[in-house]
Amino acid sequence: MAKPKTKYVCQACGSVANRWQGQCADCAEWNTLVQEAAEVSSIFAAKHNLQGGGRSIALVGLDTPTALPERLPSGLAEFDRAVGGGIVPGSAMLVGGDPGIGKSTLLLQVAARLANSGRPVIYVSGEESAEQVRLRAVRLGLGGAPVRLAAATSVRDILTTVGDHAPALLIIDSIQTMHSDLIEGAPGTVSQVRASAQELVRFAKERGTAVVLVGHVTKDGSIAGPRVLEHMVDTVLSFEGERSHQYRILRAIKNRFGGTDEIGVFAMEGAGLTEVPNPSALFLTHRGEPVSGTSVFPAMEGSRPVLVEIQALTVRLASGATPRRAAVGWDSGRLAMILAVLEARCGISFATAEVYLNVAGGYRLQDPAADLAVAAALVSAMSERPVPSECVVLGEIALSGEIRPVAHAALRLKEAAKLGFETAWVPKGVKGEGLRLAEFANLRGLVDQLLAR
């Protein structure tokens, strides 16, 4: 019989080695390997055979509903809509957005509304002094709201303090300024942001306090750089808009307690953010009178719809010279294809015209679903007949001139309706609520419709 081989067990992690080493290969601890003894191996067995020794967990059937705690409506209807009908107690939320877009203003308003309805709310700022936050609240006409303020950056201090008050809502503005003493590193580093968020999320779950983390968006658009934060929280909201424009959109990117296809629309005004229940006024005054050569396309950015304007300009050439074709934000090969289909299938020739195509706002479109909107802008520019300004256009064009259906049509149309659009020119068979749909089986039909205007 072969002599049983001596084994060495790490007392730190329980892993087994065949020979003695100064450092454990698994957990990298030093001087923890000891020759296997009966006792050690039973500890090892207990560690690695997980049956027995634990608590028994209650199992629930799919047919037994567990009551979700009731949502807390903040009273700011557009905010409540975006989060799926109110704040869920004990949930963790991340609100991201560019610096200066209005995150602090939004959350101060949410805090004040909720506090006014009798719920305890604590607002912790790591960026401004409590006095600065208070002055802003007074400017917003919220000076009387019973929100408790603090300026702090130590997660330990914050949780110790907040633990005594058991608030319904805790706002942390911003997570990048927080630091946890459980790990080393300066505030704002990936590991600090992660550790701080972990502590705060755990607090939310344990105490039933809803925690909102404000996060700045980095240049590449992700919140706080690492995506880890997005995995740790229940809901991720993004607050978007152009700083030079008034309107702001609050959009759920992720929501464990609701859908992600609702948005909240606000306008930034002198007295803070006002709700815009009917965004058409805001959006369409901004667009103004219908102009020939433009169309609006509901694009998708990941899983999110974004409305973009497509602009076309055609300039007649005297003769002879080769006409220029230039496209910004759109593939020039695809532009040539659409021009060819318009000529071959609809008899509209661009042969003697220069064609310029631009996607407004520096947006890059790569989605063939925009074909029909591009064609509409081109025909509109050529014929000087505007596409109605409250109309969105979507559909992919085949070489035969047929219009093909596109992905996420319902979601795109929902966003358009929310933003105040009234009609949509779409491929045959597309369904959408809240808009009058004109369905087209082929490009010819759309051209006829446009030229008849």
**Could you tell which of ligand TYD, Mg ion, none binds residue 353, using a CB distance below 5 to 8 A set by kind?**
none
- Using the minimum distance from each CB to Mg ion, give the nearer residue, 54 or 100: 100
Least gap, CB of 219 to ligand TYD (angstroms): 16
For residue 249, which phi and psi values (nearest 5 degrees)?
-120, 130
Q: Find where tokens 């300004």 sit.
A: 389
Q: Are strands 272-275 and 294-301 parallel, antiparallel or unpaired?
A: unpaired
- Using the minimum distance from each CB to ligand TYD, give the nearer residue, 125 or 380: 125
Least gap, CB of 97 to ligand TYD (angstroms): 5
| Angle in degrees, 0-180, between the axes of helices 130-139 and 103-116, rounded to the nearest 10 | 80
| Nearest residue (beta carbon) to Mg ion | 104
Least gap, CB of 363 to ligand TYD (angstroms): 22
Q: Are strands 294-301 and 304-316 parallel, antiparallel or unpaired?
A: antiparallel
105 binds Mg ion (CB under 5 A): no
- Using the minimum distance from each CB to ligand TYD, give the nearer residue, 99 or 143: 99
Q: Give the separation between CA 322 and CA 440, rounded to whole angstroms.
A: 33
**Could you tell which of Mg ion, ligand TYD, none binds residue 118, using a CB distance below 5 to 8 A set by kind?**
none
125 binds Mg ion (CB under 5 A): no
Least gap, CB of 104 to Mg ion (angstroms): 3
The one-letter amino acid code at 246 reads Q
Separation in Å, CA 91 to CA 62, 83, 155, 370: 22, 11, 18, 38
Least gap, CB of 275 to ligand TYD (angstroms): 14
Which of 71, 70, 140, 153 shows the shortest CA–CA distance to 107?
Answer: 140
What is the contact mask toward Mg ion in residues 210 to 239, using x (rule: CB under 5 A)?
------------------------------
For residue 321 the two structure tokens come to 């010279």
The one-letter amino acid code at 354 reads E
Cβ–Cβ < 8 Å for 179, 126: no
**Could you tell which of ligand TYD, Mg ion, none binds residue 268, using a CB distance below 5 to 8 A set by kind?**
ligand TYD
Least gap, CB of 432 to ligand TYD (angstroms): 33
For residue 250 the two structure tokens come to 């609050």
Q: Give the separation between CA 75 and CA 87, rounded to whole angstroms.
A: 10
- Using the minimum distance from each CB to ligand TYD, give the nearer residue, 132 or 449: 132
- Using the minimum distance from each CB to Mg ion, give the nearer residue, 104 or 295: 104
Least gap, CB of 107 to ligand TYD (angstroms): 8
**Could you tell which of ligand TYD, Mg ion, none binds residue 99, using a CB distance below 5 to 8 A set by kind?**
ligand TYD
Least gap, CB of 195 to Mg ion (angstroms): 22
**Could you tell which of Mg ion, ligand TYD, none binds residue 299, using a CB distance below 5 to 8 A set by kind?**
none
Which of 448, 332, 449, 446 shows the shortest CA–CA distance to 396?
Answer: 446
180 binds Mg ion (CB under 5 A): no
Binding site for ligand TYD (CB under 6 A): 97, 99-105, 136, 140, 268, 270-272
Angle at 399 between CA 361 and CA 392, to 5 degrees: 35
Q: Give the separation between CA 118 and CA 66, rounded to whole angstroms.
A: 27
Residue 8 makes CB contacts below 8 A (sequence gap 6+) with 16, 17, 18, 19, 20, 21, 33, 34, 35, 36
Which of 152, 44, 25, 175 shows the shortest CA–CA distance to 97?
Answer: 175
**Could you tell which of ligand TYD, Mg ion, none binds residue 102, using a CB distance below 5 to 8 A set by kind?**
ligand TYD
104 binds Mg ion (CB under 5 A): yes
- Using the minimum distance from each CB to ligand TYD, give the nearer residue, 97 or 395: 97
Least gap, CB of 156 to Mg ion (angstroms): 23
Interface with Mg ion (CB under 5 A):
104
